[in-house]
Structure 1
Amino acid sequence: MSDLRIEKLTKSYGAEGPPVLDGLELTVPGGALAAVLGPSGCGKTTLLRIIAGFLRADAGSVTLGEHVLSGPGVQVPPERRRIGIVPQEGALFPHLRVDRNVAFGLKGVDRAERRRRTDEMLELVGLSGYGERMPHELSGGQQQRVALARALAPRPALVLLDEPFNALDSALRSGVRADVRAALSHSGATAVLVTHDQQEALSTADVVAVVREGRVAQCDTPQQLYRRPADPWVAGFVGDAVLLPATARTNGTAETALGPVPLAEDTGPGTGTVLLRPEQLQLAEPASAVAHGTVTDVRFYGHDAMITVTVEGLADPVDIRAAGPVAVRPGERTGIRVNGEAVLHP
């Protein structure tokens, strides 16, 4: 297992263009799956191409284990980096059978070993017996798993996945993500998944790096990233956020328009913005609640519903996530309670 270390990586397109990567730093522990998450144009794909060796950085370094892949005076060619790549939509060779697609990168080994390794990889991704099929005879999810098997066959130290689930429908996507995660974990390879899908990043990766304007705004475990975002922008990007003006007290609480809210960390007195998640807010009878508002919208998603409520004292409405169907309707008055702790950003 090899750590991936990226230090002070900088890249611009054109002499006068703004930097796409601006001193980006990231460390991925050996054997971990890291998701690089960010909005369009933040530098995710550029980062992936530099790691793979398809682009040369203007400054900074990329190190895999003990080997410097890119740095001052060093630029290892892509084919010598021991990196497997899973592109969008599989990109299988349409004229080759599945087994020959998987074996494509197995150079310098005898036929028996190629056959053994190919069968091993197809079994790993749950496609034993599919070797003689052509790519067009597979579903989209099966093609993505073949692409992963092809990337893992040469035993790479690092696997790069470039938004590999975009072309799959939502019903298939979660199952294929789970299969890919299991196969990567079994192989022991370090992996980097580039995505703009927050749910995909949080549910799949061991660590998530949120990239903003060419830098890592926060890198943490999915749970910590969601519960303790570094700032309000990260909070809003990795999930639905309720942001409230607040005044912190000396007793570890903050006064808000929704009433007093316990803080995860006692920051002492001061003002700032409190972060809550919609699932921390609860509908209540108006007579038993400190905060009150008027329901303006109800969106039902099956497993839960999102209720939008305008609250006295707040310029923006708040969203409340409730399990299953809800009884309130737009125009009705409701009370609001807060559950759990909040994070205060000064």
Structure 2
Amino acid sequence: MTNDLHIEQLAKSYGPEAHVLRGLDLDVPGGALAAVLGPSGCGKTTLLRVVAGFLRADAGSVTVGGRRLTGPGVQLPPERRRVGIVPQEGALFPHLSVARNVAFGLSGLDRGERRRRTEEMLDLVGLAGYGERMPHELSGGQQQRIALARALAPRPQLVLLDEPFNALDSALRAGVRADVRAALRATGATAVLVTHDQQEALSTADLVAVVRQGRVAQCDTPQALYRRPADPWVAGFVGDAVVLPGTVEHGGRTVATALGTVPLAAPSEGSGSGTVLLRPEQLRLTEAEPGGARGTVTDVCFYGHDAKVTVSVAGVDAPVDVRVAGPVSVRPGEETGLRLTGEATLHR
């Protein structure tokens, strides 16, 4: 049986007025890495603590691999859940060597098997030969990899990662994320990564669940989530969004906006108006031409690999952002033309 994670109608409150989880549903296929993404206070950490067994849910159920961990009449203690945890900043035992940290949860094995499993895990996370070192002798990234090795050593069905890259600088973070992802795939463990970093979620996970006020607003693959957000809030939370009013045309196949007409990713039933969602990279700067969409550049932010150009457009309430690759040829105060590309999502 695969280690599927199935969470159904999970609820948790910290008092009459402090409802944190409000009937949350989430399904993660066995062997997949799911990122739980959301603003502070939305219930991400509470969800992890309930799944781990540190908190008792008020209602709902958690099942892993067909085995009920939490539910009506069921509350398995943390040590019986076969759930590994990678906390923030590693949280290694400072008085134990690296090898003894990794072997901490390997009860019931003889000394030789514990040693073999420890060495296997250290090799898996790229730290073979580090077993005799102490935690304070390791870098932050190395400590996080040891924490992952410790979580994977007992062969858990599920691994929970609670914002494990927060304490790392940006240059180190991407490399450690890649190492963690590779190690999880090598073991086939199902994993849930809690994060508030949108780019981390999109670049690391197989599935991304966006949590809003204690419920999953949308759960999908990173590409589907980014290209077809469920609503304007999700669109704005997962990356930059261009939000425009629009009118449906051509039997629901296209929508007309102040920046031009664009095809819809999914045909719309009936006519009428709605909110059009686009991404900044779907806009192109062009020569300002009579009759075409145009605006005035208000700001230019250069990032090296690309730039963000902000343009004020007549008939659009808020300025729109345009992602530009390569050299930027416009400056604030100049007029520019605009052209839409790709497909849009419409919400009524």
TM over 0.5, yes or no?
yes
AA aligned opposite 1:256: T
Task: Look up the match of 1:63.
Answer: 63
Partner of 2:297: 295
Aligned position for 2:265 = 264
Alignment check: 8 A CA contact 1:44 1:211 kept: yes
Please name the residue that 2:91 is paired with.
Answer: 91
Partners of 1:23 and 1:250 in 2: CA distance: 40
Over residues 292-327 of structure 1, what are the superposed CA-to-partner deviations in whole Å (9 max), with x where a residue is unaligned?
000000000111100000001111100000113301
Per-residue Cα deviation, 1:157-214 (whole angstroms, up to 9, x for no partner) = 0000000000000000011000000000000110000001000000000001100000
Say which of 316, 319, 334 aligns to 2:318.
316
Per-residue deviation at 1:132? 1.0
1:121-162 alpha-carbon deviations (Å, 9 max, x no partner): 000000011111111111110100000000000000000000
TM superposition score normalised by structure 1? 0.98
Distance in 2 between residues matched to 1:332 and 1:53, nearest whole Å: 58
Once the two structures are superposed, the pairs formed by residues 112-191 of structure 1 within 5 Å of their partners are 112-191=112-191
Q: CA deviation at 1:60?
A: 0.5
Gap regions ≥5 residues in structure 2: none
State the AA in 2 paired with 1:324.
Answer: G
Do the aligned residues in 2 keep the contact of 1:31 with 1:189 (CA within 8 Å)? yes
Amino acid corresponding to residue 307 of structure 1 in structure 2: V
1:234: how far off? 0.5
What aligned pairs does 1:42-61 form with structure 2 within 5 A after superposition? 42-61=42-61
- What is the alpha-carbon distance in structure 2 between the residues aligned to residue 125 and residue 116 of structure 1? 15
1:288–1:335 CA contact under 8 A, matched in 2: no
Match of 1:233 in 2: 233
Secondary structure of the residue aligned to 1:225 is helix
CA-CA distance at 1:250 after TM superposition: 2.6
1:86-138 Cα distance to aligned partner (Å, 9 max, x none): 00000011111111110111001111101100000000000011111111111
Q: Which amino acid aligns with 1:264?
A: A
The Cα offsets for residues 10-65 of structure 1, whole Å up to 9 and x where unpaired, read as 11101x22410001000111110000000000000000000000000000011111
Report the Cα distance in structure 1 between the residues aligned to 2:159 and 2:92, rounded to whole angstroms.
Answer: 17
Q: Which amino acid in 2 is paired with 1:29?
A: P
DSSP 3-state at the match of 1:96: coil
Letter in 2 for 1:97: S
SS at match of 1:216: strand
Whole-Å Cα distance in 2 between the matches of residues 290 and 320 of structure 1? 17
Contact preservation (8 Å) 1:306, 1:322: yes
> 1:212 aligns to what?
212
Say if 2:11 is the partner of 1:3: no
Match of 1:19 in 2: 19
Q: Which moved more, 1:57-66 or 1:279-288?
A: 279-288
Equivalences, count = 345
Q: Which residue of 2 aligns with 1:284?
A: 286
Amino acid at match of 2:325: A
What residue identity is the alignment partner of 1:105? G
Contact 1:311 1:317 in 2 (8 A): yes
- TM, length-normalised to structure 2: 0.98
- Which residue is 1:250 aligned to? 250
CA distance in 1, matches of 2:266, 2:57: 40
SS in 1 for 2:327: coil
Inter-partner Cα distance in structure 1 for 2:291 and 2:43: 46
% identical aligned pairs: 77
Partner of 2:236: helix, strand, or coil?
helix
CA contact (8 A) 1:37 1:201 kept: yes
Aligned-partner residue type, residue 57 of structure 2: A
- The aligned residue for residue 338 of structure 2 is 336
Secondary structure, counterpart of 1:132 in structure 2: coil
3-state SS of the aligned residue for 1:287? coil
3-state SS of 2:289 partner: helix
Deviation at 1:288, TM superposition (A): 7.6
1:39 aligns with 2:36: no
Opposite residue 3 of structure 1, the aligned amino acid is D
Q: Distance in 2 between matches of 1:164 and 1:147?
A: 9
Shift of 1:263: 1.1
Cα distance in 2 between the residues matched to 1:324 and 1:140: 35
C-alpha separation between the residues in 2 aligned to 1:288 and 1:119? 70
Q: Is the 8 A contact 1:226 1:239 kept in 2?
A: yes
What's the secondary structure of 2:250's corresponding residue? coil
Large movers: runs of 4+ above 3 Å: none
